[in-house]
Amino acid sequence: MKLAIRHADVDRLDTWTRYRSGMCDSCVANCCTMPVEVKLPDLVRLQLVDAFEAEHETPKQIAKRLSKAGLIDHFNFKNSIFTLARRASGDCQFLDAKTRRCTVYELRPNTCRLHPQISPRPGHCPYAAQ
């Protein structure tokens, strides 16, 4: 039986569920289909940028390299915010397609660490059961 995956609909926040502890254990990781905005320290933690590069290169130079490597989709120059690239399916590049679990959980960016407290609808998530 193939798992039918519902993707998060950021425009339909009224469909989101109030977050409760333990929900992630039975979810198909819809939050991992949304764009992930990160800052330079997140990229260092994810080991996409080394500390030396972060200290000696401009964010613009780093963004150019990461974009060329297909690791980011966008860079906001004004705020120095990088948007991580996603797979063609819309999934985060760090989401395991079979298990629907994060492959870099211990290194995950602050955006992910703070979800759903900090999200398009704080305290809610685009939960969908497995």
**pLDDT per residue as tens, the chain (130 positions):** 444 445 546 568 888 889 999 988 888 888 899 999 999 999 999 999 999 999 999 999 999 999 999 999 999 999 999 999 999 999 999 999 999 999 999 999 999 999 999 888 899 998 877 7
Q: Which is nearest to 61 in space by CA: 89, 87, 80?
A: 80
Residue 48 bridge partners (DSSP): none
**Are residues 38 and 48 in contact, defined by beta-carbon separation less than 8 angstroms?**
no
End-to-end CA distance of the chain: 12
Domain segments of the chain: what residues?
1-35+87-130, 38-85
